[in-house]
Amino acid sequence: MTTNTIRIYNTLSKNKEPFQTLQPGKVGMYLCGPTVYAEAHIGHMVGPVIFDTIKRFLAYCGFEVTWVVNITDVDDKLINRSREKGISMFQLATAMTADYLANLQSLGVDQIDHLPRATDNMDEIIKFVQELIALDFAYASGGDVYFDVLKDNEYGRLSNRSVDSQQGDGGDQASRKRSPGDFALWKSAKPDEPSWESPWGLGRPGWHIECSAMSRRILGKTFDIHGGGLDLVFPHHENELAQSRCCHGQPMVTYWLHNGLMQAADAKGKVGGKNDRDETQAELPATTASADAADSASTKISRSKGAGGLAQLIERHTGERIRFFLLRSHYRSTTLFGEEPLAEAGTSLEAFYRLIQRFERITGLKFYDATELPHNKHRSTFVAPATKNDAINEVVRLRESFLTKMDDDFNTGGATGDLFEIARSINRFIDAEQLEETAKRTPENTALFISGMSILKELGAILGIFIKPPKQSNNNDGTTEILDGLMQLLIQLRAEARVKRDFATSDSVRNGLTQIGIALQDGKEGTTWSINKD
RNA sequence: GGCUCCGUAGCCAAGUGGCUAAGGCAGCGGAUUGCAAAUCCGCCAUCGUGGGUUCAACUCCCACCGGAGCCUCCA
């Protein structure tokens, strides 16, 4: 049932490795989720979309996947932000979690099995810290508990850092630490901060320990895949790894996956952004520096002030477009994000929508309906249509190509290329068989057409696209029916004018409709209309 | 300063030690159309620069130039 062809790039080894699960046929997968102190921005969606796709693909390949995404709902940022807003940390976390989940849903991320919250796992977290102290990998100090990095001789392997090169001076709490690189497992609470009872007094967990504790609770001491943004490699994942491995004496994770970060492009499509530590830049003349600062104010998404507005962005572009945009490049590469790239992704997506409309028009079947157009859901159960038709056989070949690309470290960027070629092959088939004309349709060519579209649907489902109609028609008040009736009337009148070769009238109707955003297309079997977005 | 990564056509973007370097957007030519739109066909790159390794490199190595990220509880 499992294919041995999947290869995954592992940050730990810096190599692509054959995918081998710990338990046959089962995959445990953990993705670091958000700290819910503010609205989600586009950057927070990269990981979920990628891992949602990975889960879909692995499930398609026959694996039973358990996917966990944690919610960090206690931390300094939450405390500070809730004070600013004058609400409790709990209220803030609840609201921001809801925002996050709504955005995930818009992007079609619906494969998550567990969404544990840190505050729901205090017992497990405290237990974990106690175990580390008992094993002498951690020590209590002034109400805090720290992990002793010098006790772990493998510390730094994931991020390729030497022990003495991290975390500089040790921060505010340096005096409580044995060495500057030690990180907090438990932080003592100031009087007015949210806190939990612990053996070390009132306090709250450090950032990293929750992931170790919750992943162990749900996925076990060792699991298959751990993911997150590239920015989490150090210190977060390095520390998580150290905690779990030292506590259990066995590897925490087989494959560490890290997605590239997203960058905002400015109106000209250029990217700015500078490393804050680059001191030579800081010494530039003030005029230059300030001008650059203004130009590149929004380059770094996670830190830019106006990073919110994800809901509006989805409203403007649709979740499917954003998802498709994210999947068009490789998950490990940095993605340039902006209105123009998104619009382009939308333009290219339209070609698929037109093909789907063409399919529905010709066959009378509903593409998105599972009963009317069923598709293969399992890699091993695919049956190629028996035919000598080149276009359809090309679709079958492209399906293989698509899956091979996915096998190679989830190369969704390459795979989407095959999707475009599949659409072209199917269109070529429609044209060659003249399926737009009722008289030319036979049970045979119609069946081949359907099988081709079924493959498109099968592969789309792996990427999490073409699952639902792109635009929801609001047929709540009957205006949709009225509009359609109106359009049919106009089309009828225009057809009569065209029969009389009164093109002045027919063009006037079409141009007038174009101006109000309705496009007419004359086909072999009559005229169709559609509303142009944007 | 330390550690990573990247540089493929006007733009976006896959990919490979040796067959014609995917695909998308834009553009151009053609078929089709009353004209369009859509669709199809065709055209549009020698892979940052300079060396090296090799029978052979865009793909490996070195240098340089350019860009990005992390090292600061950001995905």
Q: Report the distance from CA of residue A66 to the C1' of nucleotide B2 in Å, as an integer.
A: 38
Strand B closer than 7 A to residue A336 Cβ: yes
Q: Report the distance from CA of residue A406 to the C1' of nucleotide B15 in Å, as an integer.
A: 13
Burial label for A130, CB within 10 Å (0-12, 13-18, 19+), is middle
How far apart are the C-alpha atoms of A69 and A112, rounded to whole Å?
A: 7
Residue A472 belongs to a domain: no
Instruction: Give strand letter and number of the nucleotide nearest A510 (CA to C1').
Output: B36
How far apart are the C-alpha atoms of A127 and A448, rounded to whole Å?
A: 60
How far apart are the C-alpha atoms of A175 and A172, rounded to whole Å?
A: 8
From the list A360, A363, A371, the residue with the least C-alpha distance to A447 is A363
Instruction: Give strand letter and number of the nucleotide nearest A44 (CA to C1').
Output: B75
Of the residues A227, A259, A291, the one at which a domain ends: A259
Structure tokens at A192: 């007015």
Residue A208 belongs to a domain: yes
The pTM for the full model equals 0.91
Strand B closer than 7 A to residue A97 Cβ: no
Q: Report the distance from CA of residue A270 to the C1' of nucleotide B65 in Å, as an integer.
A: 19
Phi, psi of A17 (to 5 degrees): -125, 150
Amino acid at A104: L
- Find all residues with CB under 8 Å of A159, minimum gap 6, and list them: A233, A234, A235, A237, A238
Residue A313 belongs to a domain: no
Strand B closer than 7 A to residue A35 Cβ: yes
Of the residues A259, A290, A309, the one at which a domain ends: A259
Over the Cα atoms of chain A, what is R_g?
28
* Length of chain A (residues): 534
Q: For residue A201, how far is the Cα from the chain centroid? A: 40
- CATH classification at residue A204: 3.40.50.620
Of A residues 493-512, those with CB within 7 angstroms of nucleic strand B are 498, 503, 506-507, 510
Domain identity same for A167 and A119: yes
Residue A266 belongs to a domain: no
Domain identity same for A203 and A168: yes
Q: Report the distance from CA of residue A292 to the C1' of nucleotide B41 in Å, as an integer.
A: 48
In this predicted structure, what is the pLDDT of residue A480?
77
Give residue A123's domain range: 7-259
**What single DSSP character describes residue A233?**
I
From the list A272, A403, A264, A414, the residue with the least C-alpha distance to A331 is A414
How far apart are the C-alpha atoms of A80 and A116, rounded to whole Å?
A: 22
- ipTM attached to this prediction: 0.94
- CATH classification at residue A459: 1.20.120
Domain identity same for A120 and A241: yes
How far apart are the C-alpha atoms of A473 and A480, rounded to whole Å?
A: 7
Strand B closer than 7 A to residue A269 Cβ: yes
**What single DSSP character describes residue A28?**
E
Domain identity same for A247 and A365: no
pLDDT, tens digit (0-9, with 9 covering 90-100), for A397-410: 999 999 999 999 99
Domain identity same for A417 and A525: no
Strand B closer than 7 A to residue A165 Cβ: yes
Q: Where are the beta strands (DSSP E) in A280-398?
A: 335-337
Domain identity same for A97 and A246: yes
Taking the CA atoms of A160, A162, A168 and A174 in sequence, report the sign of the dihedral they define: positive
Instruction: Give strand letter and number of the nucleotide nearest A259 (CA to C1').
Output: B75
Residue A311 belongs to a domain: no
Q: Report the distance from CA of residue A55 to the C1' of nucleotide B7 in Å, as an integer.
A: 32
Structure tokens at A53: 């796709």
Q: Report the distance from CA of residue A270 to the C1' of nucleotide B7 in Å, as an integer.
A: 15
Residue A228 belongs to a domain: yes
How far apart are the C-alpha atoms of A219 and A28, rounded to whole Å?
A: 6
From the list A296, A301, A246, the residue with the least C-alpha distance to A268 is A296
- Find all residues with CB under 8 Å of A436, minimum gap 6, and list them: A358, A362, A430, A523, A524, A525
Strand B positions within 7 A of protein Cβ atoms: 1-6, 11-16, 22-26, 33-41, 67-75
Tens digit of each residue's pLDDT, chain A (534 residues): 344 689 999 999 888 999 999 999 999 999 999 999 999 988 999 999 999 999 999 999 999 999 999 999 999 999 999 999 999 999 999 999 999 999 999 999 999 999 999 999 999 999 999 999 999 999 999 999 999 998 998 998 898 887 665 555 556 677 888 888 899 999 999 888 999 999 999 999 999 999 999 999 999 999 999 999 998 998 899 999 999 999 999 999 999 999 998 887 643 332 333 333 333 333 323 233 333 333 333 355 543 333 457 888 999 899 999 999 999 999 999 888 888 999 999 999 999 999 999 999 999 999 999 999 999 999 999 999 999 999 999 999 999 999 999 999 999 999 999 999 999 999 999 999 999 999 999 999 999 999 999 999 999 999 999 999 986 545 556 777 788 888 888 998 999 899 999 999 999 999 998 888 888 889 888 898 888 755
Of A residues 398-427, those with CB within 7 angstroms of nucleic strand B are 405, 408-409, 411, 413-414, 416-417, 420-421, 423-424, 427
Strand B closer than 7 A to residue A189 Cβ: no
Between strands A183-188 and A144-147, the pairing is antiparallel
Burial code (b: 16+ CB inside 10 Å, e: under 16) for A246-274 equals: bbbeeebbbbbbbbbbbbbbeeeeebbee
First CA to last CA distance, chain A: 45
**What single DSSP character describes residue A495?**
H
Domain identity same for A420 and A488: no
Strand B closer than 7 A to residue A184 Cβ: yes
Domain identity same for A76 and A208: yes
**What single DSSP character describes residue A249?**
S
Instruction: Give strand letter and number of the nucleotide nearest A507 (CA to C1').
Output: B35
C-beta separation of A218 from A116 below 8 A: yes
In this predicted structure, what is the pLDDT of residue A306?
37
∠ CA A331-A403-A371, rounded to 5°: 105
Q: How many domains does chain A have?
A: 3
Residue A277 belongs to a domain: no
| Nearest 10 degrees: Cα torsion A459, A463, A466, A472 | 170
Please give the full DSSP string across A428-484, using - where no structure is assigned: HHHHHHTTTSGGG--HHHHHHHHHHHHHHHHHHHHHT-SSS-SS----SSSHHHHHH
Domain identity same for A440 and A497: no
Domain identity same for A182 and A151: yes
Domain identity same for A28 and A131: yes
Residue A332 belongs to a domain: no
How far apart are the C-alpha atoms of A163 and A230, rounded to whole Å?
A: 20
Domain identity same for A421 and A508: no
Instruction: Give strand letter and number of the nucleotide nearest A165 (CA to C1').
Output: B2
